[in-house]
Amino acid sequence: MSSTKFTVLALCMVAFVAACAKKAEEVVYVDQPAVTEEPVYTGKYK
């Protein structure tokens, strides 16, 4: 094979192996929002 074809084949193989590699799972921590009471309206429209 010519060196150009060999280089292209090698790059394709590297890309294939990189795409199929097992990826580490990301751990995401989410803070819970603070719970607040609704305001009590005691104004004009009560």
Region of 28 (left: φ > 0; alpha: ψ -120 to 50; beta: rest) is: beta
pLDDT of residue 22: 75
pLDDT of residue 24: 80
Write down the H helix ranges in the chain.
3-20
pLDDT of residue 15: 92
Q: Which residues in the chain come in under a pLDDT of 50?
A: none
pLDDT of residue 36: 81
pTM: 0.46
C-alpha to C-alpha distance for 11 and 5, rounded to whole angstroms: 10
Query: 34 is written with which tokens?
Result: 């603070």
